[in-house]
Structure 1
Amino acid sequence: MPLAFQDALIQLMVATASSDVDISQLELDRIGTLVGRLPVFAGYGHDGIAVAANRCADRINGPDGLDGALDEIIAVIPERLHDTAYALAVEVAVVDLDLPQEQLRLLEMIRDRLAIDRLTTAAIEVAARARMRRP
């Protein structure tokens, strides 16, 4: 079955969350919240999240590994949604206020594959940090 762009967006978020080995409950909750609230996921059922997450794990653990999984996932995302895809990945990465090297490296890989300009990625990253800032 071909990958739908909404599934690809979810898989990108799951790949980001799992890049530091453990997916935290905060990351899972954020993915669910984003899928439930954002217009890009309109009409997408919450039950599809688990299916997309499992397929992502299968892709990453498959013969082509993370690089192949990212290539497959990003190939499905329409160019007009590349900045949205990066924003979703960053949102999941920053939710637990801990950005280990693995996640930073994955975000760099995603940014490069999506070919988003540096000004846009910097704005997305600054906005995400601002939303997560604590007093």
Structure 2
Amino acid sequence: MPNSAHDALIHLMILAASSDSSMTEKELVRIQALIGRLPVFEGFDGNRFAAVANSCADKLNGAGGLDQVMDDAIAALPKKLQDTAYAVAVEITSVDLHLEQEELRFLELLRDKLDLDRLTTAAIETAARARHRRMPASA
């Protein structure tokens, strides 16, 4: 189980980044940027990031795999941070502006495990698309 709610959120972001079998530099940079700027990460010691990421990777490669890491992370989160957990996972999968089938499946699994209604998750997904939209070439 993650040590804290911070660790749990980081584990979910790492799972989101690696859900398509590879974590890109852009995804890693975005994870670190979110940790550095989101109020939910106030008090997190950034020097612990590598240890938390390695712990997630070890657990992912362990007996329970993806489901166990997700279940442990969700169990470590206060209920009021479940929408935040989904939001940061969506943010990480959206960073390259194209979601692979595996990323969509991961978000579906996470959505099913979290106690969030469909309207909330749809709003989070729509907000992420709006934040990541680029100016059309002809504009």
Find out whether 1:100 has 2:76 as its counterpart: no
Gaps of 5+ in 1: none
Between the aligned partners of 2:101 and 2:28, the Cα distance in structure 1 is: 20
Once superposed, which parts of structure 1, at least 4 consecutive aligned residues long, lie more than 4 Å away?
none
Alpha carbons 2:7, 2:52 under 8 Å: kept:
yes
How much has 1:116 moved relative to structure 2?
0.7
Deviations for 1:46-102, whole angstroms, at most 9, x for unmatched residues? 112111111111111100111111111111011000000000000000011121111
Gaps of 5+ in 2: none
Instruction: Look up the match of 1:112.
Output: 112
SS in structure 2 of the partner of residue 97 of structure 1: coil
Between the aligned partners of 2:58 and 2:73, the Cα distance in structure 1 is: 12
Find out whether 1:23 has 2:16 as its counterpart: no
RMSD between superposed Cα atoms in Å: 1.1
Instruction: Look up the match of 2:62.
Output: 62
Identity %: 57
Between the aligned partners of 1:95 and 1:2, the Cα distance in structure 2 is: 25
Instruction: Look up the match of 1:8.
Output: 8
Structure (1 or 2) with the larger CA radius of gyration: 2
Instruction: Look up the match of 2:80.
Output: 80
SS in structure 2 of the partner of residue 95 of structure 1: coil
TM-score by length of 1: 0.96
Between the aligned partners of 1:30 and 1:76, the Cα distance in structure 2 is: 22
How much has 1:38 moved relative to structure 2?
0.7
Between the aligned partners of 1:68 and 1:11, the Cα distance in structure 2 is: 11
TM-score by length of 2: 0.94
Question: In the alignment, residue 95 of structure 1 is paired with which amino acid?
Answer: V
